[in-house]
Amino acid sequence: MKKKSLQVRIREWLPGYMFLLPAMFFFILFVVYPMIKGIIISFYNYTATSYEFNGLGNFIFLLKDEVFIKSLQNTILFVIGNVPLVLIFSLFVSIVIYNKSEFTRSFFRAVFYLPAVSSIVTISIVWKWIYSPRGGILNKIIESFGAQPINWLGDERYALTAMIIILFTLSVGQPIILYIAALGNIPKDYIEVADLDGATAWQKFTNIYWPLILPTTLYIVIITTINSFQTFAIVQLLTGGGPFYRTSTILFSLYKSAFELQNYGLASAMGVILSVIVVIISVIQYKYLSTDVEY
Amino acid sequence: MGKAKVSTRIDEVQVVGQKKGVSVGYVVAVIVICLFAAFFLFPFYWMITGSFKPMASITASSLEIFPSTLSIMNWEKLFKYPAFKWLFNSMFTAFGTMVLVCLTSAMAGYSLAKKQYPGREALFWLFVGMMTLPRQVLLVPLFTMVSKWDWLDSYQGLIFPAVGWPFGVFLMKQFSQTLPTELLEAAKIDGCSEFRTFWDIVLPLVKPGMGALAIFTFMTSWNDYFWQLVLIQSTPMKTLPLGVAGLQMEWGTDYGLLMAGGTASSLPMIVVFLAFQKYFTKGITLGAVKG
């Protein structure tokens, strides 16, 4: 092949760059630049009245701050509570319905995706009413059995669990859709052979389904983890982080420092910590879970 | 291709297999799933009926699963607020974001999938790499940025920052990769300009992918509560979910009014979802395909 002159080559490359330009413009202006800016701000003592370099001051402060540590712990509890629930439930539902009629599949897909699709504000306020200590249906049911009413969101013992249930209903829709698609892609003759060999349902699951859907499982674990780390709206709308910071999350702390205390430097430091954790966890999960995937 | 024959045989085997072993376990599984379905649907039933319940039956201590009296009082109360303006704001924001995201992503996806130029791989990985980072980390810098530009309380503040998010580019790159290169080359040989090729050949072919992306972006924008919360400060510029969240702060225990607001702010999305379920499903599964 004859080597083309640089001018000719640039003319050939140009359309590619031109088509990329609009997306790149928005991306750099509203993602890349703010991200760099956010990292820089995290090293500053940046409040309504001051803007001065503070080194690692914000990070050191946060690692000693009881409220932040509590928010960090809660965020991790949200993840630990939600991810296994989502995984087990979505896998269970998908295996039962994936080879049923199109109507059955779309019906259940729609039902379980409904909370994710309707506004998060709606879900939050309906659950607030269901959990309400006075007049909430959950307590009405309990009282009809003669038990004492419980302040679900206001009692330290129940608040976090009550919130995880809401987070769970918000999280399962997408995994179910992904699993149904993944299971539908498994070649039918694998199952046929297993059936002819007289394999039990459990054998079919461990030897055929599970290895073949492992990449989907990996993806689901990662996105559910990342999404659980970003729990904010239900906290802001339902508990305000209470009782006694029992349901406060990193993002809720971030929001409070930025917009109630106007401590932008501290809020940015929380953002950096959150990003670092999310990235580390995604990398670990990817490394750990993808080693088994070989086919 | 003789494939149909094989698959009917497999279906028969499967049906036999089901009839043989799984009956009890299977029935239990179906019952469990139906119970969970009821658990997922109940909040919506409760919300919609709640929005028509008079105050007395909301606060009554008796357990009333089926409403005994209905009233439209809550809805009248809701529309004392600028709820239609809020609805318009949500619609306009979601629609604007959707159009811009679809257009820029389709162009960028086509470029990353089908064009040759230096730095292409690096740029693609820059887009993908940023996708895993929590978007909310950008909150403070974005907020200081748009307030400096006087974009607080504005449509451009609601729309443009959302257009920067690279998910659409990733999705459209995945989708554009399936386009036949020969077709694009043929267009070039026939003397089609770059823009014509994109507009008349690429765009119609990537329409299914764009449909999925459109629905997805619309939903994300409608539910982007965090950004709207910090950006919008005046009542008339609120989006519908934000307006309803405001009612919650103001009338924390007027559940009838809150249920009317909740119904109003989720109904448009539920209707869109039920009408375009196919595209939702496609968008979600396409996004999960590994590059």
pLDDT tens, position by position, for chain B (291 residues)? Answer: 334 444 444 444 444 444 445 578 889 999 999 999 999 999 999 999 999 998 878 777 677 788 888 889 999 999 999 999 999 999 999 999 999 999 999 999 999 999 989 999 999 999 888 887 777 778 899 999 999 999 999 999 999 999 988 889 999 998 898 888 888 888 888 888 888 889 988 999 999 889 989 988 999 999 889 999 999 999 999 999 999 999 988 877 889 999 999 999 999 999 999 998 888 888 888 776 543
Choose among A192, A255, A278: nearest Cβ to B133.
A278
State the pLDDT at residue A3: 67
| Residue type (1 letter), A55 | G
> Is the CB of residue A276 less than 8 Å away from at least one CB of chain B?
no
Q: Quick one: which of B41, B273, B289 has its CA closest to B177? A: B289
Rounded percentage of chain A residues whose pLDDT exceeds 90: 62
| Residue type (1 letter), A68 | F
Distance CA A254, CA A167 (A): 19
Choose among A22, A41, A117: nearest Cβ to B270.
A117
Number of residues written out for chain B? 291
Residue A32: burial class (beta carbons within 10 Å; 0-12, 13-18, 19+)? middle
Choose among B10, B141, B166: nearest Cβ to A41.
B141
Per the CB < 8 Å rule, is B104 touching A16? no
> Is the CB of residue A169 less than 8 Å away from at least one CB of chain B?
yes
> Is the CB of residue A67 less than 8 Å away from at least one CB of chain B?
no
Residue B173: burial class (beta carbons within 10 Å; 0-12, 13-18, 19+)? buried
Distance CA A116, CA A130 (A): 18
Whether the predicted pLDDT of A295 surpasses 80: no
State the pLDDT at residue B56: 78
Residues of B in contact with A216 (CB under 8 A): 288
In terms of phi and psi (left: phi > 0; alpha: psi -120 to 50; beta: otherwise), the region of A244 is: left
Round the average pLDDT of chain A to a whole number and report it.
90
Distance CA B232, CA B227 (A): 8
Choose among B164, B194, B244: nearest Cβ to A30.
B164
Q: Quick one: which of A135, A168, A174 has its CA closest to A152? A: A135
CA–CA distances in Å: residue B208 to residues A12, B101, B276, B279, B291: 29, 15, 12, 8, 19
State the pLDDT at residue A147: 86
Bond into A243 cis (ω within 30): yes
Q: Quick one: which of A272, A276, A233 has its CA closest to A56? A: A272
Shortest CA gap A203–chain B (Å)? 13
A100-128: average pLDDT: 93
